[in-house]
């Protein structure tokens, strides 16, 4: 089941992360005539990145995203993924990039045996090409020749793409920077902790030298087969990055001393002691390049690539249903939710926590079902005639639908009601929106029930803890205390505070009020008092 998104036909999902989902897609354009092939339609394969709904609904993020995506679209370099389009469609921000048929560096490194390092020639080739791309991006200027200040902020093996032809390209310039600025604005620490720089961990201002530290982390990992800062816990990893605590490299057989010195300089805690720029890094690496390394990388990528079909038909995913936050449904529940579009959903899946119902005291509107042909009701009480079928839609889609207290699926959903039922109560709930209730009077025939969900007001929550704690909200780690969160819907909200290093954990429920002082300050070693 392919999905059309504007002028792009989404063919298959090829990646997902904390900020977006990426699809291999086909851009279809004007029809033209070819003497050899006759009537043809222009078509080009691209990669479409759909920003997750909870980011697309944040106006501050959207402004940052638009500005950074524009800057990134100006980067025309063979070692940077080309950005071809960006914008906002169907309440989703998107960015269109060239499609690189290959794999990311993370996958290549994961394919190595424990403790095995990437061949030196291939490592040098990757680092050199990445440094060239960084040098180009960091060196961009604005119309008055002032530095444009383009930095990546999330440089890691996930964002280094290697094609089946041995091309090496940096992905995600623009979006990573926009997310980093948005998280800095809200006081949230987020990212791939092992590849952060000390200044990122400490929340200090960033410049191009932050990317150089991340490049050093990748270089160390490729040369040794182990990461310099990874520790058993996230907190330990962040502390190691913050203090640049690593086991020094020693010149190993085949690794020149100049390269060892380069890695150590890239991983200096003080940015002033790192190389001046990425061009200097590339210049140090260039004498060690091997002409055969790109071919060897291409062979490695081809071995990693799975067999591909031209037009796979994946099921739609969470990104196709815009809503404030991904609901993290189990796979079985997600599939059931899709089947509910066209068939009856009578199996109850496990569903995540939903927004606290806010509209219970409102008058309940009623609706009447128009007559139509009788159909058979399938489900509990099978064999009885169905007096009506309900086609339930919500705006936005993806709301959990319950009928008389029984969960039947996520909107849009179609369900039958048995003969003899005089009416039902429909409830729709979606995180970030007020729960809605409709009383439907049943007569023989189908009904179209449309429910417009109303956004809840949001507010700011400030969280502190003694000792420090990681903050988990709706199953997602948001960072470490002290922490300021914006855009939290009003109502009772549960936060998990945990300090794995000390074995401490506590769940706190806070009644978030609009415009109020919403604060949590928890002594994790103190008694439970149940108040906040």
Strand-by-strand arrangement of the 406-410 sheet: 366-368, 436-441, 423-429, 400-403, 406-410
CA atoms of 356 and 336, how far apart (whole Å): 23
Token pair for 186: 């809200």
| Residue of 449, 415, 409 whose CA lies nearest to 429 | 409
Q: How far is residue 23 from each of residues 12, 13, 16, 161, 254, measured CA to CA in Å?
A: 5, 4, 9, 15, 40
Residues recognised as catalytic: 154
User: Coil, helix or strand for 487?
Assistant: strand
For residue 344, give the DSSP letter.
Answer: B
Question: Which helix (DSSP H) or strand (DSSP E) does residue 459 occupy?
Answer: strand 458-466
The 3-state DSSP class for residue 208 equals: helix
Helix, strand, coil percentages (3-state) for the chain, rounded to 5, are: 25, 30, 40
Helix axes 120-138, 208-224, angle to 10 degrees: 170
Place of tokens 């040369």: 223
Count Cβ atoms below 10 Å from residue 286 Cβ, excluding itself: 12
Contact yes or no for 213/197 (Cβ under 8 A):
yes
C-alpha to C-alpha distance for 164 and 353, rounded to whole angstroms: 43
Cα–Cα distance, 276 to 169 (Å, whole number): 22
Widest Cα–Cα separation across the chain? 84
CA distance 86 to 75: 14
CB atoms within 10 A of CB 382: 10
The token pair that represents 519 in the structure block:
């604060």
């Amino acid at each position: 089941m392919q999905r059309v998104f504007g002028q792009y036909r989404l063919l298959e999902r090829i990646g997902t992360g904390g900020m977006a989902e990426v699809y291999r897609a086909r851009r279809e354009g004007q029809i033209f005539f070819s003497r050899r092939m006759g009537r043809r339609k222009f078509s080009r394969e691209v990669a479409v990145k759909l920003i997750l709904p909870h980011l697309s609904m944040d106006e501050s993020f959207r402004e940052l995203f638009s500005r950074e995506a524009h800057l990134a679209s100006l980067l025309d370099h063979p070692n940077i993924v080309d950005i071809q389009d960006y914008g906002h469609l169907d309440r989703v921000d998107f960015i269109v990039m060239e499609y690189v048929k290959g794999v990311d560096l993370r996958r290549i490194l994961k394919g190595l045996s424990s403790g095995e390092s990437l061949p030196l020639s291939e490592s040098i080739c990757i680092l050199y090409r990445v440094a060239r791309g960084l040098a180009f991006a960091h060196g961009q200027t604005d119309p008055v020749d002032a530095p444009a200040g383009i930095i990546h902020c999330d440089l890691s093996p996930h964002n280094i793409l290697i094609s089946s032809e041995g091309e090496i390209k940096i992905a995600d310039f623009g979006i990573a920077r926009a997310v980093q600025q948005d998280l800095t604005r809200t006081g949230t620490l987020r990212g791939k902790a092992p590849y952060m720089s000390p200044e990122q961990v400490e929340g200090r201002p960033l410049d191009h030298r932050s990317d150089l530290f991340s490049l050093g982390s990748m270089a160390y990992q490729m040369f040794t087969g182990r990461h310099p800062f990874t520790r058993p816990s996230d907190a330990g990893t962040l502390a190691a990055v913050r203090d640049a605590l690593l086991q020094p490299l020693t010149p190993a057989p085949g690794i020149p001393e100049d390269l060892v010195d380069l890695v150590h300089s890239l991983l200096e805690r003080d940015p002033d002691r790192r190389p001046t720029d990425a061009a200097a890094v590339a210049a140090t690496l260039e004498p060690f390049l091997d002409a055969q390394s790109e071919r060897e990388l291409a062979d490695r990528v081809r071995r990693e690539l799975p067999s591909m079909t031209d037009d796979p038909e994946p099921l739609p995913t969470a990104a196709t249903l815009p809503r404030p936050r991904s609901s993290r449904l189990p796979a079985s529940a997600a599939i059931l939710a899709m089947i509910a579009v066209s068939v009856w959903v009578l199996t109850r899946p496990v569903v995540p926590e939903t927004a606290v119902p806010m509209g219970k005291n409102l008058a309940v509107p009623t609706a009447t079902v128009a007559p139509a042909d009788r159909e058979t009701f399938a489900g509990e009480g099978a064999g009885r005639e169905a007096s009506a079928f309900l086609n339930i839609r919500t705006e936005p889609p993806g709301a959990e639908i319950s009928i008389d207290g029984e969960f039947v699926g996520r909107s849009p959903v179609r369900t039958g009601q048995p003969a003899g039922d005089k009416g039902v109560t429909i409830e729709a709930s979606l995180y970030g929106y007020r729960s809605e209730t409709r009383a439907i009077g049943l007569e023989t025939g189908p009904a179209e029930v449309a429910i417009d969900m109303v956004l809840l007001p949001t507010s700011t929550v400030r969280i502190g803890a003694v000792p420090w704690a990681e903050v988990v909200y709706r199953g997602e780690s948001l960072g470490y205390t002290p922490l300021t969160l914006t855009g939290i819907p009003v109502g009772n909200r549960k936060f998990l505070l945990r300090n794995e290093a000390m074995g401490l954990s506590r769940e706190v429920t806070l009644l978030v009020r609009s415009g109020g002082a919403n604060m949590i300050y928890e002594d994790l070693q103190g008694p439970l008092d149940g108040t906040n």
